[in-house]
């Protein structure tokens, strides 16, 4: 990260940080809000799973519309405003909510009594899902477009951008979490949702005010314009794909397929791993019990702290030349495989930690902390580099649509993560199994993820040479 970056990167960094603050702030309260006043725990989990899946499905639509009609800028503004409206409707939902239940989760009557709040909540979710589809792929594409196609700084630009994402994700639960309500006072949640709404509005205002000044290439050309606003010679939407472009898209699709396994394992953080922290981790420090939800901040903290380390590592390896002139730095696709390997190692470490423990015994918090640390090495190896790779390989006229496809793998992962989490052995019900593999202990449960991401990593490493051939002499 020696060379400096264009100012536009920091505008995109701040815009995305505020948007992610809004998204993760609301998400931190969402399940709690639902079970406090509106739904049974089971229904709430289901709604949460569907919501987090759909949020990453709509980028396909947002990417397509941006490439074809609106351009990135207009799509980001429209998406941001719709998301802000969604957060405002969450605020209204919590304003009208009545505390009509006697205990958490006993919400069957509450759903009926709180009809208006439920309607407002679903409309809000629809807005956030739709708005995110227009915001997320387009802001990610713009990061890459600040640079010339072969500019070496793209990976480090996406890593810096990714730090912005995680700073937002880290602060949000701490701030919005201050307004946790409960079944005796569910409308207290409204302040958390209002803060999420304000953050989103700030994000849009920043973007609108500063975009013309900073979102330009090094030659001063504005980026992210609609097709119709570009000079004639830059309009290239209808050109058919060349052979190489088809190969590039094919490579992105293959890698995206593998990435599904990464996020399906990684996203256990919000589901089974949080349950594990709650039930089977000794959270006492000097007689004080650390709240379960605080552990959710760990991945984001590690991510921000490790981002410069990883960027430095790639740069260091990039400078080491082998005899044949190649460098020691892994290719972008190898970094994806490496990310999967880190994930497997993280789960292996925790599987060792919980080996042989009796049901109900609690293990040291060092185990979950180590897992999150190792997983962040994996996330940094995979996610920002993946965004950068997608941007470099996509034909420019389809860049945002293909970014949408990349996010779609996250959507599939979120659905899958929910299903895999149900394999967590709760002791009460019958022994569960997957593909003939019986899961009777938590040790077995964690091994599922070791095997899943381990195999995906090995396979991806193995097919790297084929993909290298498909890419010809392009550097990725």
Q: Name the residue nearer to ligand PHE (CB basis): 164 or 181.
A: 164
Q: Name the residue nearer to ligand PHE (CB basis): 379 or 444.
A: 379
Q: Name the residue nearer to ligand PHE (CB basis): 224 or 386.
A: 386
Find the distance separating the first CA and the last CA of the chain, reported in whole Å. 18
Cα distances (Å, whole numbers) of residue 242 to 61, 396, 399, 466: 24, 12, 15, 19
Q: Name the residue nearer to ligand PHE (CB basis): 39 or 295.
A: 295
Smallest gap from residue 210 Cβ to ligand PHE (A): 21
Smallest gap from residue 59 Cβ to ligand PHE (A): 9
Phi and psi torsions of 409, nearest 5°: -65, -30
Residue nearest to ligand PHE (CB): 410
Q: Would you tell me which residues interact with ligand PHE (CB under 6 A)?
A: 20, 56, 165, 169, 383, 407, 410
Element spanning 288, H or E: strand 288-289
Element spanning 284, H or E: strand 284-285
Query: Which residues neighbour 333 within 8 Å (Cβ) at sequence distance 6 or greater?
Result: 251, 255, 389, 460, 464, 467, 468, 476
Residue 427's region, left for phi above 0, alpha for psi from -120 to 50, else beta, is left
Nearest to 84 by CA among 179, 187, 198, 206: 198
CB-based contact 346:124 (threshold 8 Å): no
Smallest gap from residue 220 Cβ to ligand PHE (A): 30
Cα distances (Å, whole numbers) of residue 95 to 92, 182, 411: 5, 14, 31
Q: Quote the tokens at residue 167.
A: 């700073």
Q: Name the residue nearer to ligand PHE (CB basis): 87 or 383.
A: 383
Q: Name the residue nearer to ligand PHE (CB basis): 35 or 300.
A: 300
Query: Which residues neighbour 294 within 8 Å (Cβ) at sequence distance 6 or greater?
Result: none
Q: Name the residue nearer to ligand PHE (CB basis): 20 or 153.
A: 20
Q: Name the residue nearer to ligand PHE (CB basis): 93 or 383.
A: 383
CA–CA separation, 8 and 292 (whole Å):
38
Smallest gap from residue 217 Cβ to ligand PHE (A): 24
Burial of residue 434 (number of CB atoms within 10 Å: 0-12, 13-18, 19+): middle
Q: Name the residue nearer to ligand PHE (CB basis): 37 or 260.
A: 260
Q: Name the residue nearer to ligand PHE (CB basis): 121 or 387.
A: 387
Phi and psi torsions of 68, nearest 5°: -90, -40
Query: Which residues neighbour 257 within 8 Å (Cβ) at sequence distance 6 or greater?
Result: 409
Q: Quote the tokens at residue 143.
A: 């990061």
CA–CA separation, 182 and 34 (whole Å):
10
Query: How crowded is residue 344: how many other Cβ atoms within 10 Å of its Cβ?
Result: 23
Q: Name the residue nearer to ligand PHE (CB basis): 38 or 377.
A: 377
SS3 282: strand
Query: Which residues neighbour 15 within 8 Å (Cβ) at sequence distance 6 or greater?
Result: 76, 139, 203, 206, 207
CA–CA separation, 384 and 259 (whole Å):
12
Q: Name the residue nearer to ligand PHE (CB basis): 33 or 162.
A: 162
Q: Quote the tokens at residue 20.
A: 């992610």
Quote the DSSP letter at residue 324.
T
């Amino acid at each position: 990260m020696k060379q400096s970056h264009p100012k536009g990167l920091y505008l995109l960094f701040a815009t995305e940080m505020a948007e992610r603050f809004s998204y993760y702030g609301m998400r931190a309260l969402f399940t709690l809000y639902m079970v406090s006043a509106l739904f049974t725990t089971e229904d709430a989990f289901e709604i949460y799973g569907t919501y987090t899946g759909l949020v990453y499905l709509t980028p396909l639509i947002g990417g397509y519309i941006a490439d074809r009609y609106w351009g990135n800028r207009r799509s980001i503004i429209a998406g941001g405003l719709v998301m802000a409206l969604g957060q405002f409707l969450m605020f209204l939902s919590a304003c009208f909510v009545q505390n009509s239940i006697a205990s958490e989760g006993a919400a069957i009557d509450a759903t009926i009594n709180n009809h208006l709040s439920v309607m407002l909540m679903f409309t809000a979710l629809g807005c956030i899902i739709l708005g995110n589809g227009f915001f997320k792929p387009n802001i990610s594409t713009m990061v890459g477009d600040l640079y010339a196609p072969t500019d070496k700084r793209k990976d480090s630009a996406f890593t810096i951008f990714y730090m912005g994402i995680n700073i937002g994700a880290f602060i949000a639960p701490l701030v919005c979490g201050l307004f946790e309500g409960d079944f005796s006072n569910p409308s207290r949640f409204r302040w958390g949702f209002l803060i999420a709404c304000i953050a989103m509005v700030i994000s849009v205002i920043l973007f609108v005010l500063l975009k013309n000044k900073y979102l330009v290439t090094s030659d001063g050309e504005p980026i992210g314009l609609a097709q119709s606003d570009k000079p004639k010679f830059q309009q290239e939407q209808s050109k058919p794909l060349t052979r190489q472009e088809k190969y590039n898209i094919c490579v992105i699709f293959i890698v995206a397929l593998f990435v599904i396994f990464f996020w399906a394992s990684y996203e256990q953080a919000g589901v089974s791993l949080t349950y594990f922290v709650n039930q089977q981790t000794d959270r006492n420090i000097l007689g004080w019990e650390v709240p379960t939800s605080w552990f959710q901040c760990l991945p984001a903290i590690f991510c921000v702290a490790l981002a410069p380390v990883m960027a430095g590592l790639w740069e260091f390896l990039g400078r080491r030349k082998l005899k044949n002139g190649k460098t020691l730095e892994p290719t972008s696709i190898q970094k994806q495989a490496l990310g999967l390997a880190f994930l497997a190692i993280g789960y292996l470490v925790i599987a060792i930690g919980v080996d042989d423990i009796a049901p109900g015994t609690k293990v040291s918090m060092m185990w979950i902390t180590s897992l999150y640390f190792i997983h962040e090495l994996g996330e940094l190896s995979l996610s920002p580099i993946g965004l950068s790779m997608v941007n470099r390989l996509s034909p420019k006229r389809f860049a945002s649509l293909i970014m949408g496809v990349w996010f779609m793998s996250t959507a599939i992962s979120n659905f899958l993560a929910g299903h895999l989490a149900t394999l967590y052995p709760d002791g009460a019900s019958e022994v569960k199994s997957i593909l003939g593999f019986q899961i009777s202990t938590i040790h077995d449960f964690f091994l599922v993820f070791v095997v899943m991401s381990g195999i995906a990593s090995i396979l991806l490493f193995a097919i790297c040479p084929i993909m290298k051939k498909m890419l010809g002499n392009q550097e990725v």
